[in-house]
Amino acid sequence: MNIEPQNKEPQNFEVLFRHSTFLVRYSAVQTIKNVNYFSNNKRCHGGLCPPIIAAFVVFASINSFAKTYKLRKPNQQSTINNHQSPTLSVSETFLSLQGEGAWAGWPCFFIRLSGCNLRCTYCDTQYAYNEGKKRDIPGLVDEWRKSRVGLVQVTGGEPLLQAETLVLLEALLNEGARVLLETNGSLALGNVPREVIKIVDRKTPGSGMEEFFLEENLGWLNQGDQLKFVITDREDYEWAREEVIRLCLSCYTEVLFSPVWGGPVPFQLAEWIIADRLSVRFQIQLHKILWGEKRGT
């Protein structure tokens, strides 16, 4: 099986476009952080904050232009075949329902890669830290195809620790998959194909890994992407709430608040969100409600 990336536009144009897009978005994020508008106890719960309306116009134009040209990252020029295929260390693959985020409830094929650079206090996939089996990329793509579902999520561990993950993402896209990437936010997103839906964890103080978040990743998020906060207690909630407000995160990406499994009762988090009129999506781990903490679900 050959998997050949499609070259939509000249390489130099793609490089310029991707970096220009990032600079605009990241500059807007930095501007939002420093605008004294937010120092006067004003809030951005339901509407647009005046200082960044112009930024949204730019974002909308960029996203519309990108969708028209369907750009891919420029550094994938090689052909992947069964004889010389990159391999990935894979913890497990399985078919289940998507349990989290905007795609919750949809049948989804999961590819869980092994290895992680963080050690969150509430981690529920510790078995993926080191355990893994070498798999070639055409084999993984073929297994997804045989699952007969269009949605596939590449997760971990931390999938971006393995450079070949980018090749897998591109290969899945070229085969017509709708691809989700779940990442802990500590590694750069700049080379992730723009068609991939990014689900990025923003680690809270309760995770013990707050300091490892790479803030420049905010510049790569679109409206179709998701930024997830796992809430361990009231202190975590208040910290996350201030991050959403300070950076007006809900204005340019979808923000998820999820109660840690076994932590605060979910209805408490729901009540806090309602009381604050916070523009975030409450989510709960559907797969754990259905099957408990069972692997392969």
Q: What integer pLDDT is reported at residue 217 of this predicted model?
A: 96
Q: What integer pLDDT is reported at residue 57 of this predicted model?
A: 43
pLDDT at 108 over 70: yes
Q: What integer pLDDT is reported at residue 297 of this predicted model?
A: 72
Find where tokens 């980018």 sit.
Answer: 166
Percent of the chain with pLDDT over 70: 71
Q: Which amino acid is at 135?
A: R
Question: Backbone dihedral region of 157: left (phi > 0), alpha (psi from -120 to 50 degrees) or beta?
Answer: left
3-class SS of residue 94: strand
Average pLDDT over residues 43-57: 49
Q: What integer pLDDT is reported at residue 273 of this predicted model?
A: 97
Say how far apart CA 87 and CA 167 lie, in whole Å: 10
Read off the pLDDT of residues 15-40 as tens digits, 9 standing for 90 and up.
Answer: 455 555 555 655 665 555 555 344 44
pLDDT at 130 over 70: yes
3-class SS of residue 76: coil
pLDDT greater at residue 34 or residue 161: 161
Provide the token pair at 91: 């913890």
For the chain, the maximum distance between any two Cα atoms, rounded to a whole number of angstroms, is 62
pLDDT at 1 over 90: no
Q: What integer pLDDT is reported at residue 287 of this predicted model?
A: 76
pLDDT greater at residue 233 or residue 7: 233
Say how far apart CA 41 and CA 30 lie, in whole Å: 19
Read off the pLDDT of residues 186-208 as tens digits, 9 standing for 90 and up.
Answer: 999 999 999 999 999 999 999 99
Specify which of 43-52, 70-79, 226-235 reaches the highest per-range mean pLDDT.
226-235
What is the helix (H) or strand (E) element at residue 166, kind and residue range? helix 165-174
pLDDT at 5 over 50: no
3-class SS of residue 184: coil
Say how far apart CA 221 and CA 238 lie, in whole Å: 23
Q: How far is CA 257 from the centre of its chain?
A: 14
240, 246, 247, 248 alpha-carbon torsion, rounded to 10°: 90
> Which neighbouring-strand residues pair with 136?
87
Average pLDDT over residues 122-129: 88
3-class SS of residue 64: helix
Find where tokens 């803030």 sit.
Answer: 215
Angle at 210 between CA 182 and CA 276, to 5 degrees: 85
Domains and CATH numbers, the chain: 87-291 (3.20.20.70)
Model pTM? Answer: 0.76
Provide the token pair at 280: 């975030």
Q: What integer pLDDT is reported at residue 265 of this predicted model?
A: 75
Read off the pLDDT of residues 252-278 as tens digits, 9 standing for 90 and up.
Answer: 999 999 999 877 678 899 999 999 999
pLDDT at 158 over 70: yes
Q: What integer pLDDT is reported at residue 16 of this predicted model?
A: 53
Percent of the chain with pLDDT over 90: 60
